[in-house]
Every structure is written in structure tokens, then in C-alpha cells.
Amino acid sequence: MNIRQQFQQYFGKECRIAEAPGRVNLIGEHTDYNQGFVLPGAIDKKIYVALAANADHILKLNALQYNEQYSFSLDDMHPVKGWPTYLLGMIAMVMPEKRLPQGMDIMITGNVPVGAGMSSSAALCSAMGLALNEIFQLGLSRMDIALAGQKTEQQFAGLQCGIMDQFASLHGKAGHLMKLDCRSLEYEYMPFHFPEIRIVLVNSMVSHTLASSEYNIRRQQCEAGVKVLQKRDPSILSLRDADLKQLEAQRKEMDETVFKRCRFVLEENQRLQDACDSLTRRNLDDFGKLMYASHAGLSKDYEVSCPESDYLVKTIKEIKAVKGARQMGGGFGGCIISLVEKNEAETFIQAIQEKYAVEFGKRPECYIMNIDDGARMESVIV
Ligand code: GAF
């Protein structure tokens, strides 16, 4: 049964449906909240939100994949544990007076793996924001909805994230990556048309419980670095404004950990620019090398990797059919993104699944991803 039929069966009425994708990020990790650049693309794995008004003056929620149901009073828009917080947060962020004018029945489902670094929560916020904008004619732009999603993540889920995930979910374009300047919010679509290559995600199946607290610490460490750099040059407002020479000059003034975090961010921004150049030159060998370098920085300087991710990248690097690979997203597990020759993709998946199972006693899920369009109202039937 698709979500429309399930909604009809459970709530006994017709509904509107919004869908929003997860994302991959080819390179440019932990750069968004440092006002740098990112290179994501929306994917063909999505979250679906189905909605209709009710006369009971309450918010009724049902998540099909968890088989969980909740009810909230319309005046209850404050953070809660688990997935409902993203829906409550979006209502608080986009609705006038932070509340719904009427009761609503909402059902969610989807196939974006949770805790795999593919932005399932950003997809949920984006679908909800798009649906509210459409149903209540709020007149918000896609960027407004993305910013509301970011605030929801920060204020309702406690992750001091940047704008990449929500942006990508709402602005995706099939066959294209997006080079986003996270300071000006200007972006450019970059064609990613390599029929001989597949984007394969290898899920480490590790979902670190400290991921959000460590993430917030990384952000604070970058801000601490900016404060030190500012002492010498007050025009530096974020790591975006500094270069490696300036950082080196202030090295003795800062904690060594803070120095390493800042070095990673500055180098990662440069890698992203170089990666975009290699894309333009259609040179995936160079692009792949930058992905491996990105992972090395994530692991050694930014320290957001884990033994499982390091093992996967090291093992994948030995496979000839792979151009490049690195851990993707916030870190401490989740997925490794890799660029693999199309004809070898299935063999690659089998080999990596077997090796990983021997090493860690669990079989990693693998997904071959396509770069797809961003969020939209009522289309695909699940
Ligand atoms: C998570 C965050 F939500 C993003 O904003 C980004 O910082 C990413 O980690 C790391 O690049 O997905």
C-alpha cells in the first residue's frame, strides 16, 4: 500500500503529500557552519509527509516505519524526544504565532536510512516545511524553508548544524551537484554526468551516540580559533576570511587541538575549490584524490572518524575500480561515499561487504545513488 492509501485507511480521508530527499556531499565537510563551501546533491531516497486537516483541534502524528503514534495539543510546539520534534519545530518556525490554526493529521514514511549521514532529519523538515508553505499559502521561498529547517535542528534537536543538508534537500536538481557558498547562500549547479561512474554509499552501520555533542564541540573549537585569529586581524569574522599563513602565524597563541580543527577547515575549503576545477575538467582521478585527502583530514585533524570508517576508506582505496572515497556527513560513522566504475559496482559492493563482515561482524548496507530533484508536493506514490 502506498502512503496515500495508508493515510486513507488510518485517518479515513484524503491527504496532501510532500516528499523531500536526503543528500550526498561529494566534498566540503564541516565547512558550512564556518561560512565556507559545500558540494552536495539531492538523492533518490526520500521522506514523505502526508497531511490533512482534522476537526479535533489536535495534532495527530503517525510514523509508518516506526509504527509510532503521538498526539499534541496545538499549543504544544516545544522540543520533544525523537522524530516528532522535527515536525513540531517546523510548525513553530514557519507558522504565524508559531501554531497551527486548525488540527491536523500527519503520517510520515520514507527510505532515507536514519543515522547514516544522509540527512533524514533535514529531509523530514524540508517536506514538512514545503507542505505547510503550500497548504497555508505562507509565501516562503525554498531558502526560507531551508533556514527554518536549520533552526529546527538547532533549537528543537540541539544540533548546531550548518545549512548544507536542508539547502540540498530543497534545491536539488537531477544530475547536478550544487556548489553552495554558505556565507552568501549563492549557489551554482554543476553537472555531474559520468555515465561510466556510480556513486556508491557504504553504510558503516555505526551511529555514534556522541555525534551531536562532539559536532557541537567542533563548532565551538572553530569559533575559538576565529577569536584568536581576530586578535591579529579584526576583519576575520569566520574561518572563511583566514588563510593557512595567518593560521600558522597564530599557532602558538592557540590550543593545538583548535589549530588542527582550523587547519582542516581551511584545507577542506581549498580541496573543494580544487575538486570543482577537476569536475570542470572532467578529471575524476584528481577529484578522487581530493576525496581521500578529505578523509585523512577528517580522521587526523578534525577527529570525527571512527575505526570502522577508517577501515572502510583504507580498504576501498586498495580497490582499483574506485576513484575516491571518504566518510560523509557529520561523522563518527554513517556512510562512506565512493565513486566506483559502473561495471565494477556490484563486484565492489560484494567485496567490501564481505571484508567488512569479517573485520567487524556486521554486513554494511550499500546503496547506489542517483542525483535527483529536490523536495516537491504530491508526486511519487510510495
Ligand atoms: C551534518 C550537518 F547537519 C551539516 O550542516 C554539516 O555540517 C555536516 O554535518 C558536516 O559537513 O550533516
DSSP state of 38: E
> Measured in angstroms, how far is the CA atom of residue 55 from the centroid of ligand 1?
39
Whether 32 lines ligand 1, by a CB cut-off of 6 Å, is yes
Q: Which residues pair with 371 in a beta bridge?
A: 43
In whole angstroms, give the CA distance from residue 23 to residue 132: 22
In whole angstroms, give the CA distance from residue 19 to residue 322: 32
DSSP codes of every residue in 231-254: HH-TT--SGGG--HHHHHHTGGGS
Going from the C-alpha of 174 to that of each of 109, 195, 243, 373, the distances in angstroms are 22, 14, 34, 5
DSSP codes of every residue in 68-84: EEEEEETT--S--SSTH
pLDDT digits (tens, 9 = 90+) for 10-45: 999 999 999 999 999 999 999 999 999 999 999 999
Whether 268 lines ligand 1, by a CB cut-off of 6 Å, is no
- 50 neighbors 7 (Cβ within 8 angstroms): yes
In whole angstroms, give the CA distance from residue 346 to residue 319: 13
Q: Which residue's alpha carbon is at the smallest distance from atom 1 of ligand 1?
A: 330
List the pLDDT tens digit at each of the 382 positions of the chain: 899 999 999 999 999 999 999 999 999 999 999 999 999 999 999 999 999 999 999 999 999 989 999 999 998 889 999 999 999 999 999 999 999 999 999 999 999 999 899 999 999 999 999 999 999 999 999 999 999 999 999 999 999 999 999 999 999 999 999 999 999 999 999 999 999 999 999 999 998 766 789 999 999 999 999 999 999 999 999 999 999 999 999 999 999 999 999 999 999 999 999 999 999 999 999 999 999 999 999 999 999 999 999 999 999 999 999 999 999 999 999 999 999 999 999 999 999 999 999 999 999 999 999 999 999 998 544 4
Count Cβ atoms below 10 Å from residue 4 Cβ, excluding itself.
18
Contacts of residue 150, defined as CB under 8 A and 6 or more positions apart, other chains included, come to: 161, 162, 163, 166
Q: Which of 164, 169, 269, 291 to mutate to test the pocket of ligand 1 (most atoms within 8 A of CB)?
A: 164
In whole angstroms, give the CA distance from residue 295 to residue 236: 27
In whole angstroms, give the CA distance from residue 77 to residue 87: 9
Q: Which residue's alpha carbon is at the smallest distance from atom 9 of ligand 1?
A: 330
Please report the sign of the dihedral spanned by the C-alpha atoms of residue 70, residue 147, residue 222, residue 261: positive
pLDDT digits (tens, 9 = 90+) for 204-234: 999 876 678 999 999 999 999 999 999 999 9
pTM value surpassing 0.85? yes
pLDDT of residue 379: 58
Please report the sign of the dihedral spanned by the C-alpha atoms of residue 219, residue 224, residue 225, residue 230: positive
In whole angstroms, give the CA distance from residue 288 to residue 337: 11
Residue 258 corresponds to which cell in the numbers above? 583548535
Residues with catalytic function = 165
Whether 329 lines ligand 1, by a CB cut-off of 6 Å, is yes
